[in-house]
Structure 1
Amino acid sequence: MGIEKYKGRVALVTGASAGIGAAIVQALLKHGLTVVGMARRVEKIKELALKDAPGKLHAIAGDVSDEASILAAFKWVKDNLGGVDVLINNAGVFPFTSLTEGKTEDWKRILDVNVLGLSICTREAVQDMLSRGVDDGFIIHINSVAGHTPPTIDGMAMYYASKHAVKVLLEGLRKDLVAKGSKIRVGEVSPGAVRTEGTSNMAAAPPKVLEFFSELKDMPFLESEDIAEAVVYMLSQHPRVQVHDVIVMPTGQPF
């Protein structure tokens, strides 16, 4: 019994317009899931449709930092598709911001998207599943190796803190579901360096950050599809198996 058990079921992917989110959307479409891609750039999501894939794509506009936007997205899914069976919390931001000189708005943006937005989406998905008696749903957070290590350079501590929070929230979610007697499974994928829009566009990064990455100009990167494959792996396991955390790093990553 693999991922085919979710064929025709509804998966919501946040941050779906590019990079890891886009790769996850297309991987799930290939396995026959009905995929709802949520992001601010809705036109980019529509471009991800695959003509020969058995799954169907729905693109909806949504901002994970805005609770009203999240609630509207879940209402649309419930009204039009019946509800969410699989949630992939992929949306995330990583502005470089100092703990001694950083702007509060930058800190708030990190926490609103990476922690609060993820938590609101999770709550809404779980409540929806429980209300429909769905006992084989799945919640997957796209975390980072940053959730398992100290900051590598200054200016990244708030981002690292947000990813450590994701790790703690995942275990808290697992225990909450166990206490409810639910068999909804949870897990996280923690990538190392991935080649995405965010890592490719470093023009606005502070000088220290540019210096750090220039020293690692030949550093190996994962591709977004590698992370999508890890998500498929999680979803493919027997219902008795909960893969709690998959750490995926490019071969030869120096930090």
Structure 2
Amino acid sequence: MSTNTSPLAGKHALVTGASRGIGLAIAQRLLDEGARVTLLGRQLSSVSEAAAKLSNTDAFAVAADVGSREQLRAAIDVAGDRFGPVDILINNAGQAVSAPMHKMDDALWNAMLSVNLTGTYNGIRHVLPSMLARDFGRIVNVASTAGLKGYPYVAAYSAAKHGVIGLTRSVALEVAGRNITVNAVCPGYTDTDIVRETIGNIQAKTGRSESEAIAVLVDHNPQRRLIRCEEVANAVAWLCLPGSESITGQSIAIAGGEIM
């Protein structure tokens, strides 16, 4: 009888915001390493379609708004019934909306904190007790370079991502002696649907070409290019694989040298 020797064989990974972009790339990468992966998204139809594209019986889809503690708890319970307790949590769900500070309303501020910061807190809060009970866990929070520095017109998003990094550091210290690591990855502008929408908005408002609009976004990236989703997924996978046990409480920039 053959034995599965894949590094993450038998591990249950849950990835939020997994219906497209970075989240979907992370789900695929963890599947490639042998994990059973739950893809979580806001709309079940979208995340189920994404899971089906992976063509892997170890991919499962659930739906929840990560900003809702009750919805997320219910979805994690359903995932647990399918694959067992969550061993690896990837808090990737996020949303970015821009507005000048003097024109920002409370709804935008609250929405950015709900999805990006409270959603990350909710995920950790729900899976950590079982990780502590088993003395094992890997948590990776997808933050942003906006959590390491400021950008104009995204004050609420940047504040939320700074909060994610603070949360990462504090929880990592609390559980450092329990074989649980907590890290953040901080991508720069990445080639996702959301960024493509931003590029389109720049074109519409300024009359710039697509290449000129991209140049505006990557101006702070010394490599002068958009980050690929697969590059973020590779960094996330490394933090979950055997051999990275001493890496915890870190915020790793994936940004072509933008953050030194």
- For this structure pair, what is the TM-score category when the shorter chain's length is used for normalisation? 0.7 to 0.9
User: 1:58-73 alignment to 2 at 5 Å?
Assistant: 58-73=60-75
Structure 2: runs of 5+ lacking an equivalent: 219-223
Q: Which residue number in structure 2 is paired with residue 241 of structure 1? A: 246
* CA distance in 2: counterparts of 1:173 and 1:217, whole angstroms: 32
* CA distance in 2: counterparts of 1:156 and 1:82, whole angstroms: 38
Query: Shift of residue 239 of structure 1?
Result: 5.7
User: 1:34-113 alignment to 2 at 5 Å?
Assistant: 34-46=36-48, 47-49=50-52, 50-51=54-55, 56-113=58-115
Flag the structure with higher helix content: 2
193, 197, 209: which one aligns with 2:193: 197
Identity percentage of aligned residues: 29
User: 1:176-195 alignment to 2 at 5 Å?
Assistant: 176-178=174-176, 181-195=177-191
Per-residue deviation, residues 169-217 of structure 1 (Å, max 9, x unmatched): 1111012214xx4221111111111010110012567958x89946627
Q: Which residue number in structure 1 is paired with residue 140 of structure 2? A: 140
Instruction: Return the TM-score normalized by structure 2.
Output: 0.84
* CA distance in 2: counterparts of 1:8 and 1:32, whole angstroms: 7
158, 173, 176: which one aligns with 2:171: 173
Report if aligned partners of 1:89, 1:140 keep a CA contact under 8 Å in 2. Answer: yes
215, 221, 231: which one aligns with 1:226: 231
Secondary structure of the residue aligned to 2:184 is strand
Q: Which residue number in structure 2 is paired with residue 250 of structure 1? A: 256
Amino acid at match of 2:226: F
Relative distance call for 1:217 and 1:149 in structure 2 (3 A) is closer
* CA distance in 1: counterparts of 2:113 and 2:128, whole angstroms: 21
Report if aligned partners of 1:11, 1:84 keep a CA contact under 8 Å in 2. Answer: yes
Query: Shift of residue 68 of structure 1?
Result: 1.5
* 2:9 is equivalent to residue 7 of structure 1: yes
Structure 1: runs of 5+ lacking an equivalent: none
Secondary structure of the residue aligned to 2:119 is helix
Query: Shift of residue 250 of structure 1?
Result: 3.3
Number of corresponding residues: 242
Relative distance call for 1:67 and 1:240 in structure 2 (3 A) is closer
Query: Shift of residue 57 of structure 1?
Result: 0.3
Q: Which residue number in structure 1 is paired with residue 221 of structure 2? A: none
* CA distance in 2: counterparts of 1:217 and 1:124, whole angstroms: 36
